[in-house]
A = this chain, B = another copy of it.
Amino acid sequence: MRWVKIQRRNLPRLSLPLHPNTTRRKTRQSQGIPREMPLLVMKFGGTSVASLDRIRRAAKRIGREVANGYDVIVIVSAMSGKTNELVGWVEETSNLYDAREYDAVVSSGEQVTAGLMALTLQEMDVPARSWSGWQVPLKTDSAHASARIKEIGTDNINAKFAEGMKVAVVAGFQGISPEGRTTTLGRGGSDTTAVAFAAAFDAERCDIYTDVDGVYTTDPRITDKARKLDRIAFEEMLELASLGAKVLQTRSVELAMRYNVRLRVLSSFEDNNENAGTLVCSEEDIMESNVVAGVAFVRDEAKMTLLSVADRPGIAAAIFGPLAEASVNVDMIVQNISEDGRTDMTFSLPVNQVERARQAMESIKASGDVNYAQLVTDEDVAKVSVVGIGMRSHAGVAAKMFSALQNEGINIRVITTSEIKVSVLIDRKYMELAVQALHDAFELEKAGV
């Protein structure tokens, strides 16, 4: 049986009509700020500002960048746990809540951190002030709770830089709708806020401080040979992010790629030198890299197969439309070669969505929309992927991957490939073994292979 890839889940589309680079540079100049005063965006996540003590530690890092000659825009999240508390209150209050009120409540956490951070910086004699989303303004559409950034006004903040402010502390994750109400960008929106500010203000770099010290070739808990990458290409980071390496929100990486914002991921809990963390950048900025950058995995996957489906035009839509309506996140989709006008259709999905998917499939069979012989479900699979832009110019990556798995006696259930990625579904019990074997086979513990 031969599998043919026909589709993969699309990444969300972004719309951010910011000025192109040249215009943005001019904007900063027209505010009387000399070009030789470079600007840095620094983003601190919830664990990095979880207490007054951690806010002070973050403020010291900011102070050092100011001493290095930077103007700094700091994007802060809510103190760790605060957003969950607020979301919990909203959900306890009502089931089908008004997203506008949800946003009014949930956006308050970032406002608190921004004020406290500005105070802490002032206490260190660093001229700073806080900004809410509506004060900047960061304009979004009206899609409350998952709004998209439309435009970032740079005049107000640049005017304050011109007056001598060194740090603008901006509440992440929030903006203002055309109706004048507070919006939020959805979970992880502070990363996206940071990248959008870096693009709008033409920042030299966007530093994302988090609780890990960079992006690794794979999860160090699976193999101690995992190596921190100094640099990784946007495209690779996108594949890793969407494959379960939860360092950066997918949307923020995509935005960074579109506007060519150099993103650095680094730890707020360690002293960092200039080469700390991982720089996510365009592939032109990566002098030398491995063919394979890393091995990613998703543990709790399931696989469903519709056996003997009538192979007619529109059959895929008839199956995957109802799955989308049932909020099933279908990932890999494969269809084998048709025999006698019938085919088998296989797809992967998160384990906890199997029941929803099963109901959807039974209902399209009952309604006569799709006729299939049997629905086969395997809830004990995991996905393992190798990712690397080097694959574009190097053949044989897939073959090397399959042979490494074969050497360990691991059977491959499904394969899909993209330009820079090969993914396989395997039995979950072999997942760690597969990751270790692939890490070894591609010699990821060494740089520049």
Which of A52, A108, A109, A134: most chain B Cβ within 10 A? A108
Q: Is the CB of A132 within 8 A of B104?
A: yes
Given A93-B52, A134-B134, is A115 in contact with B104 using a C-beta cutoff of 8 Å?
yes
Q: Is the CB of B52 within 8 A of A123?
A: no
Least CB distance from A44 to B in Å reads 15
* Oligomer copy total: 2
What is the 8 Å Cβ interface bit string for chain A, positions 96-115, against chain B (1 contact, 0 not)? 01101111110111011011
Query: Of residues 196 to 243 in A, which have CB atoms within 8 Å of B's CB atoms?
Result: none
Q: Which of B89, B93, B111 contacts A123 (CB 8 A)?
A: B93
- Give chain B residues whose Cβ lies under 8 Å from the Cβ of A52: 89, 92-93
Q: Assess whether A181 is interfacial by the CB under 8 Å rule.
A: yes
Q: Assess whether A398 is interfacial by the CB under 8 Å rule.
A: no
Interface size range on A against B = 35 or more
Given A86-B112, A108-B112, is A119 in contact with B97 using a C-beta cutoff of 8 Å?
yes
Give A81 to B387 CA distance when docked, in angstroms.
Answer: 50
Least CB distance from A263 to B in Å reads 28
- Can you name the residue of chain B whose Cβ is closest to the Cβ of A59? B93
- Can you name the residue of chain B whose Cβ is closest to the Cβ of A114? B104
Q: Is the CB of B108 within 8 A of A90?
A: no
What is the 8 Å Cβ interface bit string for chain A, positions 170-187, against chain B (1 contact, 0 not)? 000000000011100000
Q: Is the CB of A119 within 8 A of B134?
A: no
Q: Assess whether A135 is interfacial by the CB under 8 Å rule.
A: yes
Query: Of residues 31 to 81 in A, which have CB atoms within 8 Å of B's CB atoms?
Result: 52, 55
- Give chain B residues whose Cβ lies under 8 Å from the Cβ of A119: 90, 93-94, 97-98, 101-102, 105
Q: Assess whether A267 is interfacial by the CB under 8 Å rule.
A: no
Q: Assess whether A310 is interfacial by the CB under 8 Å rule.
A: no
Give A104 to B135 CA distance when docked, in angstroms.
Answer: 11
Q: Assess whether A126 is interfacial by the CB under 8 Å rule.
A: no
Give A182 to B94 CA distance when docked, in angstroms.
Answer: 29
Q: Assess whether A122 is interfacial by the CB under 8 Å rule.
A: yes
Which of A115, A122, A135: most chain B Cβ within 10 A? A115
Give A101 to B115 CA distance when docked, in angstroms.
Answer: 5
- Give chain B residues whose Cβ lies under 8 Å from the Cβ of A181: 135
- Can you name the residue of chain B whose Cβ is closest to the Cβ of A123? B94
What is the 8 Å Cβ interface bit string for chain A, positions 127-165, against chain B (1 contact, 0 not)? 001101011000000000000000000000000000000
- Can you name the residue of chain B whose Cβ is closest to the Cβ of A51? B89
Give A112 to B94 CA distance when docked, in angstroms.
Answer: 15
Given A52-B93, A135-B180, A135-B181, is A122 in contact with B98 using a C-beta cutoff of 8 Å?
yes
- Give chain B residues whose Cβ lies under 8 Å from the Cβ of A93: 52, 55, 116, 119-120, 123
- Selected A-B contacts with CB under 8 Å, 30 pairs: A90-B116, A90-B119, A93-B116, A93-B119, A93-B120, A93-B123, A94-B119, A94-B120, A94-B122, A94-B123, A97-B119, A98-B118, A100-B129, A101-B115, A101-B119, A101-B122, A101-B129, A101-B130, A102-B115, A103-B115, A104-B115, A104-B118, A104-B132, A105-B115, A105-B116, A108-B108, A108-B109, A111-B111, A132-B182, A134-B134
Interface residues of A (CB under 8 A from B): 52, 55, 86, 89-90, 92-94, 97-98, 100-105, 107-109, 111-112, 114-116, 118-120, 122-123, 129-130, 132, 134-135, 180-182
